[in-house]
Structure 1
């Protein structure tokens, strides 16, 4: 019996163990150089592939989707977010879209908590002081930051990652608050000792630390704009491990440079991989290269989910991680 092997094109280098398994299961075309696809390369890929495996940094707009050949049946995205592709266009063409949820939750929550600790305690500034040979020894007023124990943490987006952040924050003695489209079940609130705020503006005005954990959608674009940043306390901090587009970056730079807020920890940016040069010059900001989910375990788990989604579809079943209309 001949096993059907669909044409699969992968846009970036994946873990070796995942690539090996893909080559065994599918007629797979890999990107061993790991150079991001140009627009022309992406257009060529969607014309030849039956299944495309892109990442969250691949911009797949309506024109690219419309240029796809009739043989493109599935986009099995390597990542949780799907804001990098035009979902309405895929739906119109009947292209199935899948992602890799759940597997990144704990890793991203760990990174969020690391930034919540690093920014108020000035960890990166202290590390740089030592490396530059400028540390002269302990002093009662040296490198003073702020404790997080007893402070109010406001979580914007209480999904899987937001909930995982809340669980960690509770262990560090933070008072947990959240704003979400829908209130979480009462038992979850009770377990996390979390307070729901129906008004985002009111929550922002009362928090010491804000953690952005909502996805990027048309509704959340620049959710944290100049007006809302102006509601924050002058001693408050903001952490973003979600999507850069959720914050108006120009407004954030202004708030930070004018000391309207105390600091920020950012793992994502509005125009990645470009970073606003004004952000780089600020000492009260910790900047990371979108590494919130960057663990070996997480990347392998993502690849395994991609393989499961493809294999399930090839076998004639509905992929477990199919993205549906209600997600938008």
Structure 2
């Protein structure tokens, strides 16, 4: 079986080799867009009469768009699908119209973990313009608090343990098995008050850190955000980061619309690329997207 028409509606980051294999799954020549739709009208126009669409996390496919599609049967998300509420595709509207939506899990976790610790090491060793301490310091015996102990958060915890760090976490659900391995549970208040480094790994549109949490946060500490979006109140964060003894590290995923306001602070470290989207991650993503499409055709 094949699709009638496949549209890659934005820059999904797929490898050329996989795109060629995807072409073989379409009866008609596939259409590939390497930029992003300007608005919903352009997104709908790009979808047209396609029965298969591939989309990155940066383009929204809303309920209104889905309602106006005529032939769509499959939406392949070239990104992780954490939950229905935070997805850039309206999963409920798609389901009601009989359209299957498939995402990709865990393709960039290794790169994201390496990004976190690479940036931390550069900061702690005094290799950046901003300096956390007057002298280079070690990760060993520093306290790290992880907010969100999912797959990525757990990988960060395990890596931190290898560095000899004191590892704590906060999650809405306790991870009792992981606590047997030297990862300590703390309330959010306790974690913010006690940890030298706090990392966040939360779904998109999750606002967990408010002015109250930032007021509790240990002075001369580091916040690392690799959440898809910013899990805090902007004004509360800007007030906290105004203290030059506090530092923040952002993956490009976590900068969002705030980049102009963030870029004026020497103690905010901004990456101009997605920390988890390495060459290897791109390969894994592409292979999983292709496998999902083949799986749909075999149903």
Q: 1:237 to 1:151 in 2, by over 3 A?
A: same
Mapped partners of 1:174, 1:109: distance in 2:
15
- Contact kept in structure 2, 1:243 and 1:268, CA below 8 Å: no
Does structure 1 retain, via aligned residues, the 8 Å contact 2:225–2:254? no
TM-score (norm 1): 0.80
- Which residue matches 1:91? 95
- Return the alpha-carbon distance in structure 1 between the equivalents of residues 252 and 268 of structure 2: 13
User: 1:108 and 1:236 mapped to 2: Cα distance?
Assistant: 21
| Counterpart in the other structure of 1:74 | 74
Q: Distance in 1 between matches of 2:5 and 2:258?
A: 36
CA-CA distance at 1:312 after TM superposition = 0.7
1:188-207 C-alpha deviation (Å, 9 max, x unpaired)? 3323x10012x222222221
Structure 1 CA distance, aligned partners of 2:254 and 2:234?
A: 7
Q: Write out per-residue CA displacement over residues 50-99 of structure 1, whole angstroms, 9 at most, x where no aligned residue.
A: 12110011122232222222x21221100114622223322332321111
Partner SS state of residue 240, structure 2 = helix
Partner of 1:19: 19
Q: Return closer, same or farther for 1:201/1:61 CA change in 2, 3 Å cut-off.
A: farther
Per the alignment, residue 271 of structure 2 pairs with 288
Please tell me whether the aligned partners of residues 46 and 64 of structure 1 are also in contact (alpha carbons under 8 angstroms).
no
- In the alignment, what sits opposite 2:247? 263
Q: 1:307 to 1:269 in 2, by over 3 A?
A: closer
Alignment coverage as a number of residue pairs: 290
Residues 229 and 255, structure 2, Cα contact 8 Å, conserved in 1: yes
Q: Residues 51 and 73 of structure 1 are in contact (CA less than 8 Å); yes or no, is this contact kept in structure 2?
A: yes
Which residue matches 2:237? 252
Residue number in structure 1 paired with 2:118: 114
Rounded Cα–Cα distance in structure 2 between residues aligned with 1:235 and 1:216 = 27
CA distance in 2, matches of 1:22, 1:60: 21
- Give the match for residue 52 of structure 1: 53
Aligned counterparts, 1:300-315, within 5 A: 300-315=283-298
2:213 equivalent to 1:213: no
Q: Distance in 1 between matches of 2:281 and 2:259?
A: 29
Match for residue 229 of structure 1 among 211, 214, 220: 214
Cα offset, 1:237, TM superposition:
0.7
1:143 deviates by 5.6
- Report deviation, 1:270: 6.2
Q: CA deviation at 1:150?
A: 0.8
1:194 maps onto 2:183 in alignment = yes
1:148 to 109, 127, 139: 139
Aligned-partner SS, 1:72: coil
Task: Note the alpha carbon deviations across 1:238-259, whole angstroms, 9 max, x for none.
Answer: 0011222312233212211134
Match of 2:148 in 1: 157
Take 2:117 and 2:4, find their aligned partners in 1: how far apart are those partners? 41
Pair 126,313 (structure 1): closer, same or farther in 2 beyond 3 Å = same
Q: Secondary structure at the match of 1:59?
A: coil
Moved more, 206-215 or 19-28: 19-28
Give the drift of 1:17.
1.1
Change over 3 Å in CA distance of 1:143–1:21 after alignment to 2: farther
**Pair 1:66–1:120, CA change in 2 (3 A):** farther
Match of 1:240 in 2: 225
> Taking structure 2 as the reference length, what is the TM-score of the superposition?
0.88
